[in-house]
Amino acid sequence: MAEIINGKELAKNIKQSLKQEVDKLKEDGIIPKLAVILVGNDEASKVYVRNKSKACNKTGIEYEEYILEETTQMDELLSLIEKLNKRADISGILLQSPLPKHLDINVAFRAIDPSKDVDGFHPMNVGKLVLGQDTFVACTPYGVMRMLEAYNINIEGKNAVIIGRSNIVGKPLVQCLLSKNATVTVCHSRTKNIEEITKKADLIVAALGKANFVKEDMVKEGCVVIDVGINRLENGKLVGDVDFEQVSKKASYITPVPGGVGPMTIAMLMENVVKAAKHQNI
Ligand code: NAP
């Protein structure tokens, strides 16, 4: 039976030590502050933004929220980003995705000052990650890496399989795992015979957004299984991309949903805000 990686507990501990760090920074006149922009009425995004504001509250990070109408035009969004870029009291800017379809998210991400890009989505920060330079690592992959570290899971020389190649999870995670010397394979919607690949994996990270996709027969005995997926079933229940009940019988470690990667993503965002504040005040 797998050991459960308790992301909720780990995230709580990280936020507690961040709170102490933030208190000290404030004594030195450095006040970390996050500005969050939400455009439109996406219900899931509203929940994510609320969770981020709660985490700021817990860590002592100041928080400002900009809720823009669904009909907001690109020039209005860009001028808000520009205003926040210029404000010395704002350490980090987070633009909640997805944006309404008429807005170009890549243009918007590119407009954020890279030194305030606490989500790690600016092309300059993505490039730095690829080159192995210090940068803001996207919060979900960063959270996955911190979980592995906290549970002393050494991935050097191991076969790591990521399912999903999105810009926010799969692709940056490739770099993170490579930097720890794993041998990385990425599967996506065109991958053939996915189970042949996952069965050879020592580590599987499922990030595709399909409820219970990873089944027991796709996983080898002793595999470490990290479930990034968040899927709401028709009955309202939240589940991941992994069939937790079945796969946990075979895995050595597994993350639950909820209470796994989700809380860690938010904790890493808080870390990135504090890092930004410190860098801006060197
Ligand atoms: P996304 O942008 O929709 O990307 C999904 C990826 O999965 C794509 O690369 C897609 O392949 C691949 N895929 C889809 N169906 C597949 C299949 N049947 N077999 C193999 N690969 C398949 O999703 P995302 O934004 O990365 O999010 C993925 C999941 O993680 C979602 O459930 C999301 O809610 C969750 N998430 C959780 C957190 C967290 O904090 N826990 C953070 C971010 C996202 P193609 O590229 O070929 O289309």
Instruction: Specify the 3-state DSSP secondary structure of 224.
Output: strand
Task: Look at the block and give the residue holding tokens 């050991």.
Answer: 3
Q: Judging by DSSP bridges, how do beta strands 203-206 and 159-163 pair with one another?
A: parallel
- Distance (angstroms) between ligand 1 centre and the Cα of 207 equals 5
96 part of the active site: yes
Q: Judging by DSSP bridges, how do beta strands 183-187 and 159-163 pair with one another?
A: parallel
pTM of this prediction? 0.98
**Residues 6+ positions from 14 with CB-CB distance below 8 Å:** 146, 264, 267, 270, 271
- Distance (angstroms) between ligand 1 centre and the Cα of 93 equals 24
Distance of alpha carbon 206 from alpha carbon 214, whole angstroms? 8
Which stretches of the chain score pLDDT less than 70?
none
20 part of the active site: no
Span 58-110, pLDDT tens digits? 999 999 999 999 999 999 999 999 999 999 999 999 999 999 999 999 999 99
Question: So what's the pLDDT on residue 282?
Answer: 78
Question: So what's the pLDDT on residue 261?
Answer: 98
> 10 Å Cβ neighbour count for 91?
27
- Residue among 33, 96, 158, 241 flagged as catalytic: 96
Which atom of ligand 1 is nearest the CA belonging to 266?
40
Residue pair 228/203 in contact by the 8 Å Cβ criterion: no
98: Cβ below 6 Å to ligand 1? no
16 part of the active site: no
Task: Look at the block and give the residue holding tokens 């189970």.
Answer: 195
